[in-house]
Every structure is written in C-alpha cells, then in structure tokens.
Chain A
Amino acid sequence: MSDLALLALNLTEARDGLARKMFSARELAAAYNDAVSKAKPLNAYITPTPERALAMADAADERLARGEALPLDGIPIAVKDLFCTKDILTTAGSHVLDGFHPPYESTVSDKLWQAGGVMLGKTNLDEFAMGSSNTTSWYGPVENPWRRPGDNRPLVPGGSSGGSAAAVAAHAALAAIGTDTGGSIRQPASFCGIVGLKPTYGRCSRCGVVAFASSLDHPGPMARTVRDVAIMLSAMAGHDPRDSTSAPVPVADFEKALTGDIRGLRVGIPQEYRVDGMPRDIEALWQQGVEWLRTAGAEPVEISLSMTKYALPTYYIIALAEASSNLARYDGVRFGLRVEGDGLEEMYELTRAAGFGAEVRRRVLIGTYVLSAGYYDAYYLKAQRVRTLIARDFAAAFERVDCILTPTAPSTAFAIGEKSGDPIEMYLNDVFTVPANLAGVPAISVPAGLSGDGLPLGLQITGRAFDEETVLRVAQVLENAASFRHLPSFLAGAGR
C-alpha cells in the first residue's frame, strides 16, 4: 500500500487493515513519521518522537503476529503537549517549562499506550491551553491545513488543542488527544474539519495533565470520524484513583453505541444560541442539522438555556482564578526556566515575567485579582453561583430532551493576526462551547459542512453527564447525513 493510501485510512480502517495484515504497524508508523516531517510547515508538533513510534509499532506488530492484538494496536496517535509524557520534553507551549522532562506519564496517554497506541509526538498548543487560536505558544503559531479558496493567508487552527487538530486534519496523525477547558477540543475540531469530543467531567483522568483550570479541564479524543473518536474514548476513559475528581463510573464500549438509530430521540434546540452577528451560513447549517436529525426520526424540541449569555464571563472568572493558583508552581525552583535576579523575590518575578507570555500573564493577573481580599465575593463567588444556574439550565433541559444540537463556534477559522487587539473578541469564540465545561456534560463537534468561504464548520451535540453513548450515536447520524468528505488544501495541494 502506498504511503498516501495508508494515510488516507481513518482509525477504524487502519485498525481493520492491521488486523487483516494488509500492512504492518511499522509501515503505518513509518508513513506517519514521514507525514509528521512533511507537515513541519504547519508547526503542529513541538516534539516528534519518530524512534519511539517505530519501537511501539514493532511491539504492536509482535502482538498482532501472536494474535493478541490490543484495541489500539499500531494506531499512530499525537499527544497535546499538555499531557506529561515520561522522559519526553513536555512544554505546555510555555517558555517557563523549558527542558522539562516529567518522570511520569499521564494516565490518559498511558492508557493509550497500554492499549497498543503508537506515540507520534507532542503537539503544539496555546500556552498552558489558554487561547482559541493557537497563537500564544512559545513555540510559535500553528497553521490550519485549510485555507480559504483563492486566499493564501494562513489561518489559525483554533485552540488550544490546535496542534492536535491540525495534525489529524493534515493526516499527520491518525488520532490525537487534546484537552478542553472552554472549547479547546471542539473549536479547533470545528476549524479543522475533524471530530472532537469533550467527555463528561471525571470521565478521563486529569492525572499528568498540566493544569489550566482544574474544575474545567477535560481530556478528550480528536479524530477523523465519530467511530474513531468512540474507539479512542473507550481506551482513554476510566476511573483513576490518582485523580480525586475522576468518576468511579464504568466505561462502556462506546463503539457499540453507534447504532445509527435515533428514532424518537428528543433533540433540544436552545433559542439563546441564536446570537447577534452569527454568520448566516452557520445559522443555516444549524437549521440543516435540525432537518437531518428530524429526517432520521428524532424530534427537535425548542428549549431554553437562559443563562447562556452569562456562561462566558462566568467561565473566565472561574478559569482564571484557578489558573492563577495552578500556575504558581512555575517559580524557577524545581523545574523549567529560571531567571536569576537580586534575591529570591526578584528571581520569582523575573522568571515568571520571562517564562509566561502576554496572554498567560494577563490571565494570571486577573485570576489573582478576582481571588484577592475584598473582591472574592463579588467576582469568584458570584461566578460560582451563576455556574450553579448554568448547570441547572442543563439539568432542566435534559428532563425534556436527550441531547442538544448547536453550532460549535460562531465563526470559521480566521487568519493569523486577523483578530488581535481585543482579548474579549477572542474569548467570544468559546461562546457555544463554554457552557458544557461549566456544567461538566459531554459535547462533541462533528464537521457538518463548509462555510461560504470554503472552510469547515462543526455542529455540536451536548448530552447528559456520562451519556457519551447518546452523544456519539447522534453525532454519527449527523456525520452520515453531512457526509463531509472535503480535504484541507494542505492535503489537496502540491506534493501530496
């Protein structure tokens, strides 16, 4: 099989091809290693690990030969550089973690390797996962493999798991793991034309994931199809005694949930998501999604998520408060960057000023402020109370419906530097994704069509806590109806 044909296979197809000995895990890994180096212009990877990929592929081949194949045997996977990987540089996209080689492996990546997965490398991200465009990384911006037809300006892949999304979209990874604190899996999935799932809070362990905002961080899978994502989730999920917020809930075989049958399912359409200034093509695609699901036998139901408007400011207060504390450990003492100064306090201040980029500094300062004496009640406690109301919105909605259909993001990928100045303009990217993080419920983005300017658009299915099965089942119905087969210009273009 040619490299190009190998790379065109999705995870499910590759798994079946390996099982049928149509190619070896080593051949697959070698093809992907090659694709990773060819994709260098996208800057999707911070640290490729080609030797490790080959070694893991060889081990997978041995198991495949013995007929003892594991669920992900030989599947090349990219890892967002927010997951700690034992003895492999882990940066969180930050200068402050210079040279950090963790002496441990994150639970989620470890589970993937235990399931036979092959590690391709560590992907680029917004610094400490703080961003929606992947432009804040110390290792430079990631480029979206997509471009607008007739417009050569590089576009952002979305963020913060932009490197993972770009790698999967550019066929430089068969699947990837990301983290989603306010939309960081789903929004880049939407921007890059792939599938991204944020599972229920507690479904995938946070142990070994560099923390941004502990109560909002969700590790999750990104891949080319809903089935691929279901297979990934089955391997990644599960209770972890090393994470006190990990849920002791059994893990289903999520692939089995993909029955294609959604007859009688009630799908909520929240009126509050019709925000001002949402592009007409997104509005139209959303309507199209409703029709697809209706055609498949589901019943659309108008619902109200009245607090939607307040989700973003609520999210920012809580996320930044937690981040300001989570990032206190980067002090130049035990790992990473250290800038010497005159005495301890200056060492701290210089290290953290040099180590953190502008967006991280800004967020840490705001987080510090909203927790500080005299402001805690007005900001932090207030936001936690509104969070309760947002969670209640979902709880009430899920008494009437089985899932909720919305757009994933209010825009398509934008050009690097197109939206700079105002941080709030950037924050608004997360308006549709943030509520699920606050409530902790699962949500998926599925590529559903192209915008007027030829860029991918995702639709989002949100479900009840621990009901990823319904989310995946509905998502697959959408996926089939949309039959999104477009390839990014990076793949369609010269050389490939």
Chain B
Amino acid sequence: MIEGRTGKWETVIGLEVHAQVISKAKLFSGAATGFGAKPNTQVSPVDAGFPGMLPVINRFCIEQAVKTGLGLAAEINLHSVFERKNYFYPDLPAGYQISQYLQPVVGHGRVSLDMPNGTVREIGITRLHLEQDAGKSLHDRHPSLTYVDLNRAGVALMEIVSEPDLRSGEEAGLYLRKLRSILRYLGTCDGNMEEGSLRCDANVSVRRPGAPLGTRCEIKNVNSIRYVMQAIEYEARRQIEVIEEGGTVEQQTRLFDAARGVTRPMRSKEEAHDYRYFPDPDLLPLVLDPDWVERIRADLPELPDARKARFMSEYGLSADDAGVLVAEKETALYFERVAQRRESKVAANWVMGDLFGALNRLGVGIHLSPVSAEQLGALIDLIADGTISGRLAKDVFAEMVASSADPAAIVEAKGLRQMTDSSAIEAAIDTVLASQAGRVAEYRAGRDKLYGFFVGQVMRATQGKANPALVNQLLKKKLAG
C-alpha cells in the first residue's frame, strides 16, 4: 500500500519473465547457444531466416519447458501450437518470431513466496510458452549504424507469465528470486541476469484498494532484480502522481533508466502493434506423450519448498535458517555436505555466519568459495574432537579463506593444536600464580571476580592453545589451594 496525497493506493504487478532454456543447440536449429562467442559464429541459415530454410524443434528444449511447468505445479498441455508473431526488426531475421499464443505448452501454475512476516503468498502463473529469442542489436558501435549479431537468434526461451498477483516491488523481487531458484534447481535456466539468460518485463498499474484494475504500463527488459524493484516503485509513484494531479495514466511501454532510477517512455514510435499471429505452417501441432511427461515428473529433483521442509524436519533448523540455506541450490548442497554426520546446527551456523561473511567480503558466490564443504566440515571436526578450540577455529577459518588450505595443515603449520597435556597446563598455571602472589591472596580473600583474570593470564601464557575446560578444572583446584 502506498500513501498518496489523496489516500491509499495499491500497486498491481504482473511479471513476464523470459528465461533462456539450458540446451546445447537452439530451439529450431542445430547452432550452438553458448554465451560470448564472436558475432554471427553461432548462426545457422535457419536462424538467419534464409530462403527455404525450415525449423525443426529440439526435443530437449520441450523437455526443459515441461520440467519447468511441472516445477511450477502447472498444467502440461499435451497439445500445443507454435504460431508466428509477425513484426519487422533487424534482429528478427524471418520477420516473425516463432512463439506460442493461443495454445501454450504449459498452463496455469503457481509459485509460493515466504513473506518476511512469516506468512506464505501464492502467486499464480498464467502460462509458460516456448519461443525463439531474437538476435542482438548494438546501437553504440557506430555513429549512424546499428550492428546486428544473430548468435542469440533462435535460442529457446521460456516466457513465464505471472498473474497480476504481486503488490509491491519487494514482492516482485521475492517472486523473481524464488522463480530463479526453482529454475536453477530444475537445471532449466541458469538465471544469469547479467548475461541476459533471465529478463523481466513488468506490467504495473495502481488503483484504490478494492477498485478495478487501472491502466497498466509495461516496463521492458529490466536486467537485475534490484532494478525491477526500483523500477516498479518508481513507476507506481509516477502513476499515482499523474492521477493525483488530475491526469490519466497512458498505456505505454517504458524503459528503466538505471543510472537515474526512473522509467521513461520508449522513444521509438509505438506503432499500433498488430502481430498477425497465425499457426506456423512449417510446424505441426506439438503433441506430447503423457507417459513421457510422467517420466519427466518422476525425475524431478527436490525443489526449494520441499527441501526447506526437509531441512526443518531432518536437521531441526528454524524456518528462517532453512529458508536461507535452500534459496540457492548450491548453498543447500554445500550445507548438506558440511552437515553430513555432523551437528547440523553447528554446520548451519558456520555456513550462514562465517562462510557467508567471507563470501560477501570477497564478493563471490558459493560455487567459487575458497573453502570447500569438505574443508569446512573438517574444521568443525577439529573443534569437536578437541584438536583446536572454538576461538582458534575462527583464526584457522580466516586462514582457510585466504589460502584455501586444509584446516589440519594450517593447525599443524602454525602449531595451533590445543594443549591437552594437564602437566603442561599445570606448569603454566603455577608460573602465573607464582608471579601474581598478591592477586592470589586477594582472590582467596574473597575477590571472586579475579578468576577471569587468571584464566586470561593462563591462556596468554599458552598462546591460547590450552584446552579451556582443563584450564578451568586445574585453575580452580590450584586457587582453592
């Protein structure tokens, strides 16, 4: 809810996400899909719309779309149709995009969001359809020319359309994170927004609470979750201002200017779009074998919601901790490797505390962590078996982050092994007490608070290596005289 000058406003948001399908070859041609190749080196005559060249669909791309549909708890349409969406653009070689329109491969589904207040929100999925990506137009390489690279032309995209169920930029952010997490769990899209594997268009409108939907604006191609959130918040406030000033919101396509944090209408004249969709006569209806769909369903991996529930029941984690650990597939896998045969809460604390802190400082994801799950597990084991103290473990971890070395090797090399020899500790205590005869007398006279001072002195004398429990036990005995 946004408080305007004239009262409360509700923002209504629907998202259209274009997710690039993970596949070796393109949707309708045998050209490669890899990111970052030299211009026009991953282009077949089919992708370039050469005369007489015909599309033939990639079975794996369909499997990926079906898998994604199942992951979104959606209906799979056993009969779907590819249609042509006709428009002219230099990076659309055939003059039409092969897409799905009236009969998409995936129908209604849903995504559930864990809200910060602990509740769960269900966001409806309207549909998911398969379509071809366009090529790339580069407008800034030449003063009077646009350069066209068709490497991306024909790569398979899943367009995932949400219901207008989202109510704030923050919710939109949660939805995108959750959707990306599901796609990554499924292995159907890498979710990389910087490389354009995940792109988002946001339809935004505002209304008085309970009123019918207002006129919406579509914000095109925003390339980070943070920007999507910013763009929505800006756009909602802009629309409220327009209405409160007595104007009306014009339905239009807008772009987000990340540098200025504002949305602006697209400069190109928005001709009345008339895409003249019709079934692509080069392709026949896509008919799926229900057994095939069931086999895909049977092979689905555990998804974030299920994994979260399992982390809570199996590892006794709180909902918050489990939520954090399952958000990224790699984190969840990492955690489970660390928690293997170990105290799960200790494992969770190390992963979410020290490890996340270190990764944050380094600015890398967990897949690039300098400390492997096995190494972190070994560190926890060294604490558990008394080889090092919990305090020293922090230093060892810092060293692991710096050098990627095994904790045992660091402990050995730096001589950090915990002192558990009681005669050595006794000798250290004796030395400390002998040098602090006055304070010993005060303590024995009743100044209990000095106890901590003696512990500190003993630890200092042993460079922190003395086993704290032993120190306690022996010190108490000695002070008691």
Residues of A that sit less than 8 Å from B by CB:
83-84, 90, 92, 97, 100, 102-104, 106, 206-211, 213-215, 241-245, 321-322, 324-325, 327-329, 331, 333-335, 344, 348, 368, 371-373, 376, 380
Contact = CB atoms under 8 A, between A and B. Distances in A.
Nearest to A344: B90
Given A214-B282, A244-B56, A244-B57, A329 B49 contact: yes
B94 interface: yes
Which residue of B50, B88, B276 has the most chain A CB atoms within 10 A of its CB atom?
Answer: B276
21 contacts: A92-B51, A102-B52, A103-B50, A206-B54, A209-B52, A211-B51, A244-B56, A245-B281, A321-B278, A322-B278, A325-B86, A325-B95, A325-B278, A329-B49, A329-B51, A329-B95, A331-B95, A334-B49, A334-B50, A334-B93, A335-B51
Contacts of B50: 102-104, 329, 334-335
B251 interface: no
Contacts of B422: none
B34 interface: no
B52 A333 contact: no
A371 B86 contact: yes
B51 A84 contact: yes
A245 B88 contact: no
Nearest to A332: B90
Given A208-B52, A211-B51, A376 B278 contact: yes
Contacts of B95: 325, 327-329, 331
Interface in B267-292: 274, 276-278, 281-284
Given A333-B93, A333-B148, A334-B93, A322 B281 contact: yes
A473 to B, nearest CB: 30
Given A209-B52, A325-B96, 7 more contacts: A83-B52, A90-B51, A208-B52, A213-B281, A245-B284, A334-B48, A373-B276
Interface in B128-174: 146, 148
B44 to A, nearest CB: 10
Interface string B65-90: 00000000000000000001010101
Given A106-B52, A211-B51, A371-B86, A344 B278 contact: no
A213 B52 CA distance: 11
Nearest to B271: A345
Contacts of A321: 278
Which residue of B52, B84, B86, B93 has the most chain A CB atoms within 10 A of its CB atom?
Answer: B52
A234 B284 CA distance: 25
Contacts of B274: 372-373
A327 B84 CA distance: 13
B45 interface: yes
Contacts of A213: 281
A333 B278 CA distance: 24
A102 B51 contact: yes
B55 interface: yes
Nearest to B57: A244
A244 B88 contact: no
Contacts of A90: 51
A250 B393 CA distance: 73
B85 to A, nearest CB: 10
B138 to A, nearest CB: 14
Interface residues of B, number: 29
Contacts of B277: 371, 376
Q: Which 10 A-B pairs have the closest CB atoms?
A: A328-B95, A214-B281, A371-B276, A215-B281, A329-B49, A208-B52, A210-B51, A84-B52, A373-B274, A329-B94
A242 B283 CA distance: 11
The B interface, classified by DSSP as helix, strand, loop or mixed, is loop
A90 B53 CA distance: 14
A437 to B, nearest CB: 12
B52 to A, nearest CB: 4
B88 A103 contact: no
A210 B50 CA distance: 9
Contact of A100 (B51, B278, B282): B51
A288 to B, nearest CB: 38
Contacts of A92: 51
Contacts of A84: 51-52
A164 to B, nearest CB: 17
B49 A241 contact: no
A245 B51 contact: no
A219 B95 CA distance: 24
A368 B282 contact: no
Nearest to A240: B54
Contact of A244 (B146, B276, B283): B283
Which residue of B48, B51, B93 has the most chain A CB atoms within 10 A of its CB atom?
Answer: B51
Contacts of A104: 45, 50, 52-53
Given A103-B45, A214-B282, A321-B278, A241 B94 contact: no
Given A103-B45, A334-B49, A243 B54 contact: yes
A244 B54 contact: yes
Contact of A210 (B52, B56, B281): B52
B54 A333 contact: no
A120 B409 CA distance: 79
A269 B406 CA distance: 90
Contacts of B276: 324-325, 368, 371-373, 376
A325 B284 contact: no
B90 A97 contact: no
Given A244-B56, A245-B284, A380 B278 contact: yes
B56 to A, nearest CB: 5
A206 B94 CA distance: 17
Which residue of A100, A207, A328 has the most chain B CB atoms within 10 A of its CB atom?
Answer: A328
Contact of B52 (A211, A325, A328, A380): A211
B304 to A, nearest CB: 37
Nearest to B56: A244
A376 B86 CA distance: 14
A372 B278 CA distance: 10
A146 B95 CA distance: 41
A137 to B, nearest CB: 16
B146 to A, nearest CB: 7
Contact of B278 (A103, A242, A371): A371
Contacts of A207: 52-54
Contacts of A344: 90, 146
Which residue of B50, B56, B57 has the most chain A CB atoms within 10 A of its CB atom?
Answer: B50
A301 to B, nearest CB: 33
Which residue of B48, B84, B90, B281 has the most chain A CB atoms within 10 A of its CB atom?
Answer: B281
Contacts of B90: 331, 333, 344
A206 B52 contact: yes
B245 to A, nearest CB: 33
Contacts of B84: 325
Interface in B448-465: none
Nearest to A84: B52
B96 A328 contact: yes
B314 to A, nearest CB: 48
Nearest to B46: A242
B282 A97 contact: no
Nearest to B278: A371
B157 to A, nearest CB: 19
A492 to B, nearest CB: 38
Contact of B88 (A206, A328, A373): A328
A373 B86 CA distance: 12
Nearest to A381: B278
A329 B88 CA distance: 9
Nearest to B94: A329
A318 to B, nearest CB: 9
B144 to A, nearest CB: 10
B281 A241 contact: no
Contacts of B55: 244
A281 to B, nearest CB: 38
Which residue of B48, B54, B284 has the most chain A CB atoms within 10 A of its CB atom?
Answer: B54
Contacts of B96: 325, 328
B49 A242 contact: no
Contacts of B94: 328-329
